Structure 1
Amino acid sequence: MKLSTYTKLTLLVFTILFAGCKQKKDTTTLKLAHGLDPSHPVHKAMVYMAEELEKESGGKMNIEIYPSGQLGGEQQCVELLQIGSLAITKVSAAVLESFTPNYQVLGLPYVFRSREHHFNVMDGPIGEEFLNSTEQFNIKGLCFYDAGFRSFYSVNKPINNQEDLKGLKIRVQKSITAMNMVKAMGGSPTPISWGELYTALQSGVVDGAENNPPSLHTSRHYEVCKYYTLNEHTCVPDVIIISTVVWNKLSEQEQKWLKAAAEKSVSKERELWRQAEEHALEIVKDAGMEIIIPDKEPFMKMVEPVYEAYKCQPEIYDLIQRIRNTK
């Protein structure tokens, strides 16, 4: 494993001060770090997980949380986790594509028909397969958190149907899957960094973008964009991951306590996320943004070729079919 310069420079400090797992008398302390603000629903769910772990273990285990990038960004946290200097962090499932190709399936458009379908897949045997699929890289998934559905928003032209996407320059993440999706719908995918997007929308470099309601709100893109079309094309979850270096040092009972606390936090996070979405939609609507509820079926038909392209990869194609066949 190749470490970044940042990690090499700070590894000694973290090893001395922030060991991923440490035991003091009868207490095991796990270090959890992430880049989100304490007001974020995911952070609040992590706090709940820490509280539940303390209850489950009768005070024999606890989690120390370092939010807001205190111990580094997402990449640095993953690297520190892999070597055991950090116990737990949060990543988007898209980040794990670089470790196992199967994770790219979770970013395919309309692979999830609804939020209920998404939860049924992630809470079932397919979700468990994903969580265990990165252990050879010292990464083990504990649970999935809801990160909402992504939808299109635009500056001047409303997107009432898939036809309205034709010719529009839509900002996407630097992802082949995302680019292929927008192309299949007739749009022109334009990769731009998140930090530059506000200016790109304002100056006309792109005509629109796509994301979930809380991100639209916190980014203040609603100040520039007039329309938000809730076509809900993708639903890429977040993953709470733990270092296998740390996990394997825990006793079987400690592992059970931690897994139970993580699973309990899933329901809490989903409720917190629902509340955040409702609040975000209220804010952008009050600010004058028009909320459009389109017929999703035409959008779904447009992206079928994206699935067919995976027929040459039997393992991934079979996974797609298993997910789509889940009730």
Structure 2
Amino acid sequence: MKRVKKIIALVLCACMFTMLLSGCASVGNGKRIIRISHAQSESHPEHIGLLKFKEYIEENLGDKYEVQIYPNELLGGAQKAIELTQTGAIDFVVAGTANLETFADVYEIFSMPYLFTSEEAYHATMMDTEYMNNVYKSTDEAGFRVLTWYNAGSRSFYATKPIETPEDLKGLKIRVQQSPASIKMANAFGAAASPMSFGEVYTAIQQGVIDGAENNELALTNNKHGEVAKYYSYNRHQMVPDMLIGNLKFLNGLSDEELKIFEEAAALSTEVELEEWDDQVEEAKRIAEEEMGVQFIDVDVQLFKDAVSNVQQEMLDNNPSIQDLYDHIQEINKQYEEKEGN
């Protein structure tokens, strides 16, 4: 299956480059093809959100554009798909903020452990569109810009062995996102950080190359990781959004009216994704527990916070560009902490 996916990706990429070089990125009726790549399955909330994006674009600009969505890393892993979006070989890609750190180091902040004190504060930060648009423009020099965000839940550890305290992580090989900050975090917990593409995780756990990974509950079911990792520990060390990224040349080439429709489509896709997310997480937990035999472990989160207490300050000291966003998030955290206290 993995080999078939690689072959498909190579063929599709070759076809796209050929069409771009010949100026023929259109279908027979003259419509411009819009290609979107993402790593998730067709049932994932992000894919369902993208279907809304497609629907809205084609309802309003269907005489000009046809939107094609490529799930399951068919066009390559996130980093490769970002490169394709940079060059314009594809138009949009959904990728985690960890993949954006090498293009704009402000995105490193989302890899900071325990950055948000609650999911409410996390959502409020991401829905502050006026502020976040300034962050989204930070990759303009790299040739792409974020249009919107998708909820990817809270990230926790899951493994072939139960993890109840940070001590249980010592010596375990844990897959993390390909981000220096995520590597530093896992190592601070005492684990051996093993960065790799998300699509490689199942086989790596199955073959004993790694002992586990860290992600949200949907990874257990949508990506079947619950078949090979039977212990999921709710330590909730990160809340990391996924981003819908667009080729900047394409976006700048749109008329004001067209750009407005694309931005509205992006916002609608986020609304749909957020609704789907909550429903699917509950169902994923039920399936993982009842059908896959996964054991969910509630842990003392404070123990895990204490284990990485120095990482936040180290990141702020080493990367001044995240200070403003960090301060902004702390203000929002405080607002929601005060609400809870009332």
Identity of counterpart residues, as a percentage?
34
Map Cα deviations across residues 101-122 of structure 1 (whole Å, 9 max, x no partner).
1111111111122222111111
3-state DSSP of counterpart to 1:133: helix
**Separation of aligned partners in 2, 1:299 and 1:212:** 17
1:54-82 deviations in whole A, cap 9, x for unaligned? 44x37566441131355555445433432
Equivalence for 1:13: 19
SS of residue paired to 1:288: coil
**Which residue of structure 1 lines up, in the alignment, with residue 233 of structure 2?**
229
Could you tell me how far apart the structure 2 residues matched to 1:23 and 1:131 are? Answer: 34
List aligned pairs for 1:62-211, cutoff 5 A: 62-68=65-71, 69=73, 73-124=77-128, 125-156=130-161, 158-191=162-195, 194=198, 197-202=201-206, 204-211=208-215
Q: Within 1, Cα distance between the matches of 2:190 and 2:184?
A: 10
Cα distance in structure 2, aligned partners of 1:198 and 1:77: 20
Deviation for aligned residue 1:270: 1.1
Structure 1 residues 269, 138: CA separation in 2 closer, same or farther (over 3 Å shift)? Answer: same
Q: Distance in 1 between matches of 2:37 and 2:26?
A: 13
Aligned with residue 299 of structure 1, among 287, 299, 304: 304
Distance in 2, Cα, partners of 1:320 & 1:231: 21
State the Cα distance separating 1:136 from its structure 2 match: 1.7
Residues 20 and 86 in structure 1, CA contact (< 8 A), matched pair in contact too: no
Aligned mates of 1:235, 1:140 — CA distance in 2: 21
Aligned-partner residue type, residue 130 of structure 1: V
Seen in structure 2, the aligned counterparts of structure 1 residues 160 and 10 have a Cα distance that, compared at 3 Å, is same
Q: Which amino acid aligns with 1:34?
A: S
Paired residues in the alignment total 318
Partner of 2:280: 276
- In 1, are the aligned partners of 2:101 and 2:179 still within 8 Å (CA)? no
Assess, with a 3 A threshold, how the Cα gap between structure 1 residues 283 and 116 changes in structure 2: closer, same or farther.
same
Report the counterpart of residue 317 of structure 1 in structure 2: 323
Aligned to 2:51: 47
- Partner in structure 1 of residue 221 of structure 2: 217
Asked if structure 1 preserves the Cα contact closer than 8 Å seen for 2:105 and 2:321, the reply is no
Partner of 2:338: none
Contact 2:173 2:211 in 1 (8 A): yes
Q: Check the 8 A contact 1:34/1:73 in 2, yes or no.
A: no
CA distance in 1, matches of 2:245, 2:286: 32
Offset, 1:262: 0.9
Cα offsets for 1:268-320 (capped at 9, x unmatched): 01112222222221111012221112232232232221111122433323432
- Equivalent residue, structure 1, for 2:255: 251
Partner residue, 2:36: 33
The whole-number CA distance in structure 2 between the counterparts of 1:136 and 1:92 is 19
Paired with 1:77 and 1:194, the residues of 2 have a C-alpha distance of 13
Cα deviations by residue, 1:198-252 (Å, 9 ceiling, x for unpaired): 4543455543321211112233332333321111111221111111211111111
The unaligned stretches of length 5 or more in structure 2 are 1-9, 336-342
Moved more, 315-324 or 103-112: 315-324
Give me the whole-angstrom Cα distance separating, in 1, the residues matched to 2:264 and 2:86.
23
Asked whether the equivalents of residues 18 and 86 of structure 1 are also in contact (C-alpha less than 8 Å), the reply is: no
